[in-house]
């Protein structure tokens, strides 16, 4: 089955399901709310007037556009002023000379058909039936009495005269009398006998052809050139279209309809149009998310945030539209959606909202193209931001792209340099970029906190060492803090290798052992050569204390309001693993009674995501490699493979979406990074011994002479 057929079946199930799921209900609820908001905005942005009515208020243009009705009138006038186009005929000379040859041949045929001494009546009858030229009877008789050679010479003379006359002037069909007069003048110049002159005049007049013919195609081309030569009459934003109290003409109403300032129907019609726009937008988004981002359906906070972004874009756009369509906050929607969800979803929302705004508010193609290009640039720039302060540079990028697109549109539309009026659009575009950025900066924290979304910017805030929990970990458990840094580097490298979220892994690694700050001395990371307090308590008590650091970490994270996306690393980084050291110690202490394994296992849960699974593997691997007496690369690789195999066999990765292929990539990445961390170092000789050897050999030990 083709992919298109599969997508269509999914769409049918989504739309026609008798028992719609939660996703369908959310989509329907959003469509209704979006339609209501759009309908209200659309209804308040239009004036309902008809031709012949009086304008109750001044009507101002909200966008730069071509005056369509006036432009059509100007083009019609230019087309009407175009004269018909005539082109030179390529067949006029040939056709005329052919007609002359035909007449000469007819005369020769009459001569051959008449017997000698035929009466004038017989000659006239034969002439009229075969030649047809109107001549006096005496001229007909004299011409028929001429020798055949003379008749042929007369035909050649006529052809030459015809060629010369057509070469000297051009004649249309209605100018044939002038052409015949020119032929008569040329015949008179030969001073031939009267009967022969009459024959030549009649033959040439009967054979005359127009050498200029009307060309419909060339005339149409001339009309198109005339229409293209008409400069489009432009309407500038803020221009007064109709003054208060002015009677509306049909042409003025047509212009207002073109600009979307006059509604063709009623309020219910506007609401119905809004419902159609909202339904189309919601259905498109639902199908696209189901097809390409199905996991997003389970992420209610992000879905609600996307809905809120769409509503804010429509409402703010309605408020700013009277000033200029370039102020529509479409880039705001793109930037915030890219930060809160992902770049692909941001582009989808941008295109959908762009189509909705263009249809509902009659935004022209040129402003819409500028806004979409600006939004795409915003998505690309946002995906490369380092922290929230980098958003302050976003208006520079957005404004630069918008200004370039505005000028390019002017050059493309007018086939010349941008006019002075275009610079006003450039200023509006720059203002629109600033408005979108200010909206993004102002509303992004609200979306993050209200909808509980952990954006990359918020993650970066929690990775700051000055965060209270991290600062406490650094001061009270420095060994654990150092261990967390190494684990974070391991996790980030592995996450990037398999396409997981490296930033989330880094921040999760910083916090995963935060619970050790309550009893730092009970963990070997922080003992620094001091006595081990576990030597004085039972293995069960030691295991309970070690296991307790997970719950302690969760409590500290909850008190510090650490997001659940980060705190889940605390609860899942050990899963339900066995505290094997103390379990073995308890077994050795009392071989007769095997200890209950459940007492020596972490409570879990096991890792639920690829990121927490990566952290579990990185945490265990780093601790095992650090405890190795030798750090040769091959030994590190063997240890890494053993740790990963043990976790896999123990079922710790069963609930995470990580694959065996991912585990292989992670193992190779861990081996490479740890080999670099614990690489072999050179044993430097003792400096005092080196100096003593040099003195014994009689060398000057002055520091200035040392190598």
- What are 2-12's pLDDT values in tens digits? 544 454 455 45
Q: How confident is the model at residue 526 (pLDDT cuts 50, 70, 90)?
A: confident
Structure tokens of 646? 């043990």
- Identify the pLDDT of residue 470: 94
Q: Which residues of 604-626 are buried (b: 16+ CB within 10 A; e: fewer)?
A: eebbebbbbbbbbbbbbbbebbe
- Identify the pLDDT of residue 418: 44
- Identify the pLDDT of residue 569: 95
- What are 263-301's pLDDT values in tens digits? 545 556 666 666 677 777 777 777 877 777 777 877 888
Dist. CA 318–CA 315, nearest whole Å = 5
Give me the sign of the Cα torsion angle 287, 291, 293, 295. positive
**Of 62 and 51, the one with more pLDDT:** 51
**Of 629 and 687, the one with more pLDDT:** 629
- What are 23-47's pLDDT values in tens digits? 456 556 666 677 667 666 666 555 5
**Of 597 and 295, the one with more pLDDT:** 597
On whether the CB atoms of residues 447 and 340 are closer than 8 A, the answer is yes
Beta pairing class for 212-214 and 86-88: antiparallel
Q: How confident is the model at residue 327 (pLDDT cuts 50, 70, 90)?
A: confident
pTM beyond 0.85? no
- Identify the pLDDT of residue 620: 93
Q: What's the maximum distance between 2 C-alpha atoms anywhere in the chain?
A: 162
**Of 356 and 550, the one with more pLDDT:** 550
Q: How confident is the model at residue 416 (pLDDT cuts 50, 70, 90)?
A: very low
**Looking at the predicted structure, is the pLDDT value of residue 414 above 50?**
no
- CATH class of the domain whose range is 464-677: mainly alpha
Q: What is the mean pLDDT of residues 167-175?
A: 83
Q: How many CB atoms lie within 10 A of CB 91?
A: 11
- Identify the pLDDT of residue 330: 92
Q: What is the mean pLDDT of residues 163-174?
A: 84
Q: How confident is the model at residue 688 (pLDDT cuts 50, 70, 90)?
A: low
Nearest-CA neighbor of 654 among 602, 606, 620? Answer: 606
- Identify the pLDDT of residue 391: 64
The share of the chain scoring above pLDDT 90, in percent, equals 22
Q: What is the mean pLDDT of residues 527-533?
A: 77
HSE-up (13 A, CA, CB side) for residue 601: 13
- Identify the pLDDT of residue 296: 80
**Looking at the predicted structure, is the pLDDT value of residue 405 above 80?**
yes
- Identify the pLDDT of residue 683: 54
- What are 548-582's pLDDT values in tens digits? 999 999 999 999 989 999 999 999 999 999 988 88
- What are 433-447's pLDDT values in tens digits? 889 988 988 888 888
Alpha-carbon separation of residue 173 from 99, 181, 214 (angstroms): 17, 14, 9
**Looking at the predicted structure, is the pLDDT value of residue 707 above 50?**
no
Average pLDDT for the chain: 81
Q: What is the mean pLDDT of residues 93-104?
A: 86
- What are 390-402's pLDDT values in tens digits? 666 777 788 888 8
Alpha-carbon separation of residue 605 from 127, 571, 659 (angstroms): 121, 7, 19
- Identify the pLDDT of residue 685: 59
Q: Tokens 């400069």 belong to which residue?
A: 231
- What are 118-140's pLDDT values in tens digits? 888 888 888 888 888 888 888 88
**Looking at the predicted structure, is the pLDDT value of residue 417 above 60?**
no
- Identify the pLDDT of residue 459: 87
Start-end of CATH 1.10.3210 domains in the chain: 464-677
Dist. CA 143–CA 424, nearest whole Å = 85
Strands (E), 163-254: 212-214, 234-235, 240-242
- What are 489-517's pLDDT values in tens digits? 999 999 999 989 899 999 999 999 999 99
Q: Which residues contact 183 (CB under 8 A, 6 or more apart)?
A: 161, 162, 165, 201, 204, 205, 208
Nearest-CA neighbor of 52 among 247, 253, 242? Answer: 247
- Identify the pLDDT of residue 31: 63
Dist. CA 148–CA 177, nearest whole Å = 31
- Identify the pLDDT of residue 652: 93
Of 245-249, 367-371, 674-678, least confident by mean pLDDT is 245-249
**Looking at the predicted structure, is the pLDDT value of residue 655 above 50?**
yes
Q: How confident is the model at residue 359 (pLDDT cuts 50, 70, 90)?
A: confident
Beta pairing class for 234-235 and 65-66: antiparallel
Max avg pLDDT among 265-269, 342-346, 529-533: 342-346
């Amino acid at each position: 089955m083709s992919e298109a057929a599969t997508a269509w079946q999914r769409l049918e199930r989504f739309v026609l399901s008798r028992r719609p799921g939660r996703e369908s209900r959310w989509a329907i609820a959003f469509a209704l709310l979006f339609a209501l908001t759009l309908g209200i905005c659309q209804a308040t942005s239009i004036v309902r007037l008809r031709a012949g009515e009086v304008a109750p208020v001044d009507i101002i243009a909200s966008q730069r556009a071509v005056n369509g009705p006036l432009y059509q009138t100007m083009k019609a006038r230019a087309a009407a002023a175009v004269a018909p186009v005539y082109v030179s005929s390529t067949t006029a000379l040939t056709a005329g000379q052919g007609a002359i040859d035909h007449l000469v041949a007819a005369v020769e045929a009459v001569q051959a058909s008449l017997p000698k001494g035929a009466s004038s009546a017989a000659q006239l009858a034969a002439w009229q039936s075969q030649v047809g030229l109107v001549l006096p009877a005496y001229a007909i008789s004299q011409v028929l009495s001429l020798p055949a050679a003379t008749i042929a010479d007369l035909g050649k003379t006529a052809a030459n005269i015809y060629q010369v006359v057509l070469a000297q002037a051009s004649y249309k069909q209605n100018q044939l009398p002038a052409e015949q007069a020119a032929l008569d003048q040329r015949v008179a110049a030969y001073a031939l006998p009267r009967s022969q002159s009459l024959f030549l005049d009649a033959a040439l007049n009967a054979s005359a052809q127009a050498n200029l013919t009307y060309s419909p195609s060339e005339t149409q081309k001339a009309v198109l050139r005339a229409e293209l030569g008409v400069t489009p009459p432009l309407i500038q934003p803020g221009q007064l279209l109709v003054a208060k109290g002015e009677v509306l003409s049909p042409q003025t109403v047509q212009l207002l309809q073109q600009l979307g300032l006059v509604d063709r129907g009623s309020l219910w019609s506007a609401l119905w149009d809004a419902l159609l726009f909202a339904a189309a937008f919601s259905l498109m988004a639902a199908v696209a998310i189901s097809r390409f981002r199905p996991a997003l359906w389970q992420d209610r906070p992000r879905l609600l945030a996307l809905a809120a972004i769409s509503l804010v874009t429509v409402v703010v756009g309605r408020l700013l539209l009277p000033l200029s369509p370039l102020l529509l906050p479409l880039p705001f929607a793109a930037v915030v959606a890219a930060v809160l969800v992902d770049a692909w979803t941001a582009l989808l929302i941008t295109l959908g909202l762009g189509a909705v705004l263009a249809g509902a508010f009659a935004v022209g193609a040129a402003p819409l193209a500028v806004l979409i290009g600006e939004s795409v640039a915003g998505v690309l720039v946002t995906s490369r931001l380092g922290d929230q302060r980098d958003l302050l540079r976003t208006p520079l990028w957005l404004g630069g792209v918008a200004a370039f697109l505005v000028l390019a549109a002017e050059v493309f539309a007018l086939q010349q340099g941008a006019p002075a009026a275009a610079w006003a659009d450039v200023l509006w575009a720059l203002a629109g970029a600033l408005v979108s950025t200010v909206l993004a900066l102002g509303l992004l924290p609200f979306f993050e906190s209200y909808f509980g979304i952990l954006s990359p910017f918020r993650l970066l805030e929690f990775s700051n060492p000055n965060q209270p929990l991290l600062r406490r970990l650094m001061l009270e458990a420095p060994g654990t803090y150092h261990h967390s840094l190494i684990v974070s580097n391991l996790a980030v490298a592995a996450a990037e290798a398999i396409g997981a979220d490296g930033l989330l892994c880094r921040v999760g690694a910083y916090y995963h052992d935060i619970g050790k700050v309550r009893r730092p001395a009970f963990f070997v990371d922080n003992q620094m050569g001091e006595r081990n307090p576990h030597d004085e308590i039972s293995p069960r008590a030691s295991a309970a204390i070690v296991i307790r650091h997970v719950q302690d970490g969760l409590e500290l994270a909850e008190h510090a309001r650490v997001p659940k996306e980060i705190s889940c690393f605390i609860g899942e980084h050990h899963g339900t693993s066995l505290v094997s050291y103390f379990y073995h110690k308890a077994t050795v202490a009392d071989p007769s009674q095997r200890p209950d394994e459940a007492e020596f296992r972490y409570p879990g849960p096991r890792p639920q995501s690829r990121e927490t699974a990566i952290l579990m593997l990185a945490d265990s691997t780093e601790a095992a490699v650090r405890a190795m007496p030798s750090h040769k690369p091959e030994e590190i690789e063997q240890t890494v493979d053993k740790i990963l195999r043990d976790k896999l066999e123990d079922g710790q990765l069963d609930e995470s979406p990580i694959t065996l292929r991912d585990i292989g990539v992670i193992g190779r990445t861990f081996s490479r990074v740890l080999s670099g961390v614990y690489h072999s170092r050179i044993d430097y000789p003792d400096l005092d011994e080196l100096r003593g050897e040099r003195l014994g050999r009689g060398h000057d030990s002055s520091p200035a002479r040392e190598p």
